Amino acid sequence: MKTDTGDTPKVLVVDDEAGIREGSERILKRMGCRVLTACNGHEGLDILDREPVVLVLLDLKMPGIDGMEVLQRIRDRHAHILVIVITGFATIETAIEAMKQGAYDFIPKPFEPDQLRIVVDRALEKLRLTREAEKLTRERAMTLADLDREKSRTRTIIESLPNGVVVTNAQGQVVLTNPAFLAELGLPLDKPTGSMIHEYVPDEGFCKLVMDISQGCHIDFDDIRPYEFGVSGNRYLMAYAKPVLGERNECLGAVANLTDVTAWKVLERLKSEFVAQVTHELRSPLATIHEQLALVLKDVMEQAPQKDRHLISRAQEKTRGLISTVGDLLDLSRIESGNVGREVKPVAIPTLLENIVSFLNARAQAKAQTLTLTLPDQPLPEVTADPMALESIFGNLIANAINYTPEGGRIEVRAEIAGGAVRVAVQDNGFGIEAKYLDKIFESFYRVKNDKTRFITGTGLGLPIVKGLLDALGGKIFVESKPNQGSTFTVLLPVRPASAESAPM
């Protein structure tokens, strides 16, 4: 079947009267149509088989095969073609019958050009609207097919991800899982969606996190920390969860991405054990070397020439550096193995700070610095924590203040109550730190290197240790610093130790 898709509609006039054919042809051409004519029904039907006609003007009363029959065949074989019947006054009933048979309109004979124009115009408009509607339907079908293809493509990607993915709705019901998720949790691969999250994941902390996110507690999701939990078979999963937001930033649910971190944890543990073992083995011989070197060299130093004295004091400094590195590494491995905060007890912060300050005062005095401790008038509450961890925290911060402050500088340690916590600030008027390094100094082995700090020995492990210990104790650290003006490291210590269930968030 041929249809006219162009802008010039093709019209066929079927009439045995030459006058009607020619008259109609003239009018239709002026209306911008391409016109074909036939003087009987057979000829008309033949043309329709060959040409993409959209509209037929059909005389009902013709010799041979009559108009009604032609109309029937057009309806059967070319249902899309509109037919306008032309009929004499005497056959108006036939015209009505023709309309019932599916003719679009009729026009009585004889007719004025305007009458024909109006009827044909209406038919062409109807054809145009039909074409438009068909086009829209086709486009809609295509868009739906595209969407469907896109959906199944996304689905395939999610299914083939090596990480587990689970999506919940705002009520916390699971609406999507992938095979990796089901495998990680040891669930049957055909487990359907639709149940609450705790039917899939047996970890309370994870389910609480997902429920909180699903119910919109974390629209500003920068504060959502990765959550690690154990599953059967001594395996560990790390979950990165986020809210699924709608167009108006409303929370539609949560999506969690789960990575199996068992191998990584095993490696980490082995590494920590190795470092702990090696540093432990190194510490006592090193300390012995250092002490014995000091004893032997005390006498030798006085008689030794200037050059040798310099070399000897460098060697001493290096062994002291090594001892402190070994100490730092031991602290780090204690933090990594989770061995911090095991021996908690109530600690009086003023006494602890007094001891550290008086111990480090000798170092400050060697640099002609003033090191002061200011305590509040009212008594500070005792902090329940591991005293070794607290010593390490403040020892590191005060030692740093001494190290990174020039001769004659001022270091002030202040302790006070801050709500339900104890706040300790270590302030110096030393070299300071540029703003761009303030985050970096808490990374392992990171040291700011500039003209002033280049010759100060250190490992870059002090602040990561401080941060690690504070994390374990549920405390916080803040730093404010300006180059050449000084730095203030402020520590907030909770009075009670961090409880296990507050760990995930």
Nearest distance from C-beta of residue 488 to ligand ADP, angstroms: 9
Nearer CB in complex with ligand ADP: 386/428: 428
Nearer CB in complex with ligand ADP: 200/404: 404
Cβ burial of 417 (10 Å; 0-12, 13-18, 19+) is middle
Nearer CB in complex with ligand ADP: 11/466: 466
User: Identity (one letter) of the amino acid at 321?
Assistant: G
What is the footprint of ligand ADP within residues 396-425 (CB under 6 A)?
396, 400-401, 404
CA torsion angle for 249, 251, 256, 257 (degrees, to 10)? -20
Nearest distance from C-beta of residue 428 to ligand ADP, angstroms: 5
Contact 40, 61 (CB under 8 A): no
x/- map, 454-493, ligand ADP, by CB under 6 A: ----xxxxxxx----------------------x------
Nearest distance from C-beta of residue 371 to ligand ADP, angstroms: 13
Considering just the CA atoms, what is the radius of gyration of the chain in Å? 45
Cβ burial of 57 (10 Å; 0-12, 13-18, 19+) is buried
Nearest distance from C-beta of residue 469 to ligand ADP, angstroms: 13
Q: How many CB atoms lie within 10 A of CB 262?
A: 16
Nearer CB in complex with ligand ADP: 266/456: 456
Interacting stretch for ligand ADP, rule CB under 6 A, among 6-14, 38-46, 162-170, 394-402? 394-402
453 sits near ligand ADP (criterion: CB under 6 A): yes
User: How does DSSP assign 71-118, residue by residue?
Assistant: HHHHHHH-TTSEEEEEEEGGGHHHHHHHHHTT--EEEEES--HHHHHH
Nearest distance from C-beta of residue 380 to ligand ADP, angstroms: 23
Nearer CB in complex with ligand ADP: 37/392: 392
- The Cα–Cα gap between 371 and 405 comes to 11
> 466 in helix, strand or coil?
helix
Nearest distance from C-beta of residue 347 to ligand ADP, angstroms: 22
> 394 in helix, strand or coil?
helix
Interacting stretch for ligand ADP, rule CB under 6 A, among 12-20, 220-228, 372-380, 430-438? 430-438
Please state whether the peptide bond connecting residue 202 to the residue before it is cis, i.e. omega within 30 degrees of 0.
no
Nearer CB in complex with ligand ADP: 394/404: 404
Nearest distance from C-beta of residue 361 to ligand ADP, angstroms: 17
395 sits near ligand ADP (criterion: CB under 6 A): no
Nearest distance from C-beta of residue 350 to ligand ADP, angstroms: 22
User: How does DSSP assign 128-194, residue by residue?
Assistant: HHHHHHHHHHHHHHHHHHHHHHHHHHHHHHHHH-SSEEEEEETTSBEEEE-HHHHHHTT--TT--S-
The count of residues interacting with ligand ADP (CB under 6 A) is 22
Interacting stretch for ligand ADP, rule CB under 6 A, among 106-114, 121-129, 269-277, 444-452? 444-452
Contact 165, 255 (CB under 8 A): yes
441 sits near ligand ADP (criterion: CB under 6 A): yes
Nearer CB in complex with ligand ADP: 103/401: 401
Cα–Cα separations (whole angstroms), residue 351 to 282, 361, 382, 383, 428: 32, 15, 10, 12, 21
Nearer CB in complex with ligand ADP: 4/331: 331
- Helix ranges restricted to H, 304-424: 306-336, 349-366, 387-403
- The Cα–Cα gap between 432 and 394 comes to 18
Interacting stretch for ligand ADP, rule CB under 6 A, among 1-9, 11-19, 269-277, 395-403? 395-403
> 372 in helix, strand or coil?
strand
What single DSSP character describes residue 390? H
Interacting stretch for ligand ADP, rule CB under 6 A, among 75-83, 107-115, 190-198, 451-459? 451-459
Q: Which of 117, 363, 414, 447 binds ligand ADP (CB under 6 A)?
A: 447
Nearest distance from C-beta of residue 181 to ligand ADP, angstroms: 39
Cα–Cα separations (whole angstroms), residue 185 to 160, 170, 235, 413, 453: 17, 22, 10, 50, 51
Of 87, 83, 118, 73, the residue nearest 103 (C-alpha): 83
Nearer CB in complex with ligand ADP: 91/279: 279
Nearer CB in complex with ligand ADP: 432/475: 432
- The Cα–Cα gap between 459 and 399 comes to 13
Interacting stretch for ligand ADP, rule CB under 6 A, among 94-102, 169-177, 197-205, 445-453? 445-453
Spatial strand order in the sheet of 476-482 = 370-374, 410-418, 421-428, 486-494, 476-482
Nearer CB in complex with ligand ADP: 17/480: 480
- The Cα–Cα gap between 85 and 67 comes to 8
Nearer CB in complex with ligand ADP: 239/441: 441
Please report, as ranges, the residues that interact with ligand ADP according to CB under 6 A.
396, 400-401, 404, 428, 430-433, 441, 446-448, 453, 458-464, 487
